[in-house]
Homo-oligomer: A and B are copies of this chain.
């Protein structure tokens, strides 16, 4: 099995056609015929790649994309649309899609793009880690414990912790944190991130003044490590 592909597409003919071709190529395929179903299946089933139609009943492709990206879905997404306007193409790519195909398209071209995207993505592997040190995080329950005892975290603190955890071991810049946690896109001038980091350290580090897990990387950002 070469990988799992989720096709979010409301046109049955197109959806089944894609599934057939992808399965012939050796992919495992799931279908979703509207936006909300697509979001749910992407997050539950964790496909290796999502083919996402732009025009969908209920929730358009942009919102689907934003939603799953905000939920931490990091696999490549290939956008599919009938509209040919360039502004849409740009919007799709900039809002987190990895590639873009305009209908009508050739199946061979689509398969080639799928393959290229998966080859790129296969180098990056996922972290399923759920904690660090004596700290455990239960994402489903949204509960954090330290040495077994629950630690109450404010919403922003929890989101910040998740953003760091999703990239455990890597340096995350303040801008990235601002974008992924707060949704802002601007450069930083405030001490907002720092303040919340301090609070996280106070609640999660054994010695907050000498942090061993939530580390500062000067001039670059913060790094969470086990």
Measured in the bound complex, the distance between the Cα atoms of B220 and A115 in whole Å is 21
Residues of B within 8 A of A120 (CB): 98, 120, 124
Beta-carbon contact of A220 and B142 below 8 Å: yes
Determine if A19 is an interface residue (Cβ-Cβ < 8 Å).
no
Q: Write out, one digit per residue, whether chain A residues 195-226 have a CB within 8 A of any chain B CB (1) or not (0).
A: 00000000000000000000001111001010
Residues of B within 8 A of A112 (CB): 89-90, 93-94
Determine if A135 is an interface residue (Cβ-Cβ < 8 Å).
no
Determine if A1 is an interface residue (Cβ-Cβ < 8 Å).
no
Q: How many residues of A contact B (CB 8 A)?
A: 39
Beta-carbon contact of A127 and B126 below 8 Å: no
Knowing A109-B86, A124-B120, A124-B127, the reply to whether A142 touches B115 (Cβ < 8 A) is no
Determine if A140 is an interface residue (Cβ-Cβ < 8 Å).
yes
| Residues on A facing B (Cβ under 8 Å) | 86-87, 89-90, 93-94, 97-100, 106, 108-109, 111-113, 115-116, 120, 123-127, 140-142, 154-155, 167, 169-171, 217-220, 223, 225
Beta-carbon contact of A86 and B108 below 8 Å: yes
Knowing A86-B106, A170-B126, the reply to whether A116 touches B140 (Cβ < 8 A) is no
Nearest-neighbour CB distance to chain B for A115, whole angstroms, equals: 7
Nearest-neighbour CB distance to chain B for A145, whole angstroms, equals: 14
Residues of B within 8 A of A108 (CB): 86-87, 89-90
Knowing A99-B99, A155-B218, A219-B155, the reply to whether A109 touches B124 (Cβ < 8 A) is no
Nearest-neighbour CB distance to chain B for A210, whole angstroms, equals: 15
Residue of B with least CB distance to A123: B124
Subset of 27 A-B contacts with CB under 8 Å: A86-B109, A87-B108, A89-B112, A90-B108, A90-B111, A90-B112, A93-B116, A94-B115, A97-B116, A98-B116, A98-B120, A100-B113, A120-B120, A123-B124, A123-B127, A124-B124, A125-B127, A126-B170, A141-B170, A141-B223, A141-B225, A142-B171, A142-B217, A142-B223, A154-B218, A155-B218, A155-B219
